[in-house]
Amino acid sequence: MAEPPAVLYTTALVMRERRNRAIVRWWLYLVCLLVFAMVVVGGSTRLTGSGLSITEWKPIHGVIPPLSHEAWLEEFDKYRQTPQYRQINEGMSLLEFQFIYWWEWAHRFLGRIIGVVFLVPMVWLWWSGRLEQLLKPRLLVLFGLGAVQGIVGWWMVRSGLVDRVDVSQYRLAVHLTLAAIIFAYCLWVARGLAPHSGGEAGAAVRLAAPLIVGLVLLQVFLGALVAGLDAGLAFNDWPLMDGAVIPSGLTILEPVWRNFFDNPKTVQFVHRANAYLLLLAVWLAWLATRRPDNAERHRARALILALLVTLQAAVGVVTLVLQVPLHWALAHQALAVVVLAFAVAHWRALAGPYPPVTAIEVRG
């Protein structure tokens, strides 16, 4: 017996809404991929000392790089007014300046590309009625975070244009951590639209998942402090640090809290300690998934996450011992984002997807 036309019509609407979810999901995956690229290019910008090569913030006109020899000389003259040039790079050639300029320009240009890739499809999806109500506030939050990130980026650069030869490690840490939060939240929303089942999971596994995401974000913050202080260029022995398990001189600054942000030795020590804590946490979480009250899919994801964190720790050690060569340092930063992605995906799978679109909701 054929189904009534009303039922067929409603079924078609449900299928359309599911297709819309797939469109939104893959669009958000693309945004995540671009944010990942942004983090890697940002790491290159920091490691090559390029971040202060552009001394002005022009969100619109800044998309056009210098197009003539005179324009290049004008940009170079602005850079020569900075403390970084006068104290570190005095005498550099125009060609050397162009090298660092292109890194910073590429970083800012990619940020603009991300803004366009996010905003234009969001407006179209919203206008065409392809966005569910539950997605609209989440996408507005993502857009707001992206706008704040652009402001934070310039706030960071400004810190190195007057009294410093590099950017503030505080502001660098805020900038990188906010990028990680944007990436994590974008992936969280995208994974919530995927047609998957959470499956059974015990209390210990559910508790561990957000804790691990928090530890990864903390490690990103600490890693930015290490980069901002060039702390990875000192104390390059391992597994000891400066020849000891707990090195001396960790609290030489006053007040004591400043050591955790301004003392390169303390910052690197805390970064190492949190890495060990994260490594322990992911393997304990994997052991917790081996209990019979957990679905097999959670066990597999937890194992992949534990292996990724172990690989990241190994890459970090190699980067440290080799005194932070560019390619190893970039691999370490890129792998940190991969670890964050798997940690968020694992947590999202435990939470389950967003409620599915139903015939009743479509009728409403």
pLDDT digits (tens, 9 = 90+) for 202-246: 888 889 999 999 999 999 999 999 998 989 888 999 999 999 999
Q: List residues bridging with 244 in a β-sheet.
A: 241
Predicted pLDDT at 3: 52
Q: Which of 162-176, 207-221, 262-276, 290-304 has the lowest mean pLDDT?
A: 290-304
Radius of gyration of the chain (CA): 24
Angle made by CA atoms 146, 223, 54, in degrees to the nearest 5: 55
Asked whether the predicted pLDDT for residue 352 surpasses 60, the reply is yes
**Nearest 10 degrees: CA dihedral of 89, 109, 77, 43?**
-10
Answer yes or no: is pLDDT of 60 > 90: no
- The mean pLDDT value for 332-337 works out to 95
What is each CA distance from 233 to 11, 226, 227, 323, in whole angstroms? 61, 9, 9, 5
